[in-house]
Amino acid sequence: MSSNGSKTECAVSRMKPVPVATILLSSLLTLSLWGCGGIPRKYVNMAEPGLTLTAIDSDPDRYRGRVTILGGTIVEEEEREDQLFIRLTNRPLDQDYRPHRPIDLQGPEGGHYWVVVKGKIPRGYHNWARVTVVARVTGLRRHGQEPVFALLYVRGWGMNPAHDMAWEETIDANYLPSVPSSVGREYDPSR
């Protein structure tokens, strides 16, 4: 009874219990969507699984045109003509495509590589402590030593989360940009 003496009806809606399987399925779906660490699925699908810097470095011509996902830290940059070359120290990726420091810095995956981008990437890339790159193997070597990749997508993590950001190439991902002769030999389709 209410304070004025009348009966108060309480409307109780009947809620059906949510099956545990539905909750688990929803959780797994959510985790799988987050599982790529922010890398768009189209790039994960484009990349050749298991393609490592060591394999590419041993025979870049064999892997020319293939797409790979690598981790790294930026150590050097150079602007040439209308292209930006960024040199990275390779870092192994975890299952979420986040780069981490390797146990052995002198190990087989402890080398360096270059990515080349035509155009502009976010100004804040200088603040990235580590990056995940999706890139196409060019078959070229910078200064005759380190492999060069055409950048398709990059995800950067800063020391401060405010510096975290991503960039992707806006031209056709099947386009292989020309690389200035200062890099080494030009792309030769007959090779």
Q: What is the mean pLDDT of the chain?
A: 77
Model pLDDT for residues 83-132, shown as the tens digit of each residue? 999 999 999 999 999 999 887 777 767 789 999 998 778 788 888 999 99
Q: Give 7-58 pLDDT, tens digit per residue.
A: 544 444 455 555 555 554 444 443 333 444 578 999 999 999 999 999 999 9
Domain 37-183, classified CATH 2.40.50.140, yes or no = yes
The pLDDT of residue 115:
95
Q: For 178-182, which contacts have Cβ atoms below 8 Å and span 24 or more sequence positions? A: 179/83, 179/116, 179/138, 179/140, 179/148, 180/80, 180/81, 180/83, 182/80
Kindly report whether the global pTM for this prediction surpasses the value 0.75: no
The pLDDT, as a whole number, for residue 30 is 39
- 10 Å CB burial of residue 62 (0-12, 13-18, 19+) is exposed
Domain ranges of the chain: 37-183
pLDDT of residue 88: 96
pLDDT in tens, 152-170: 999 999 888 888 888 888 7
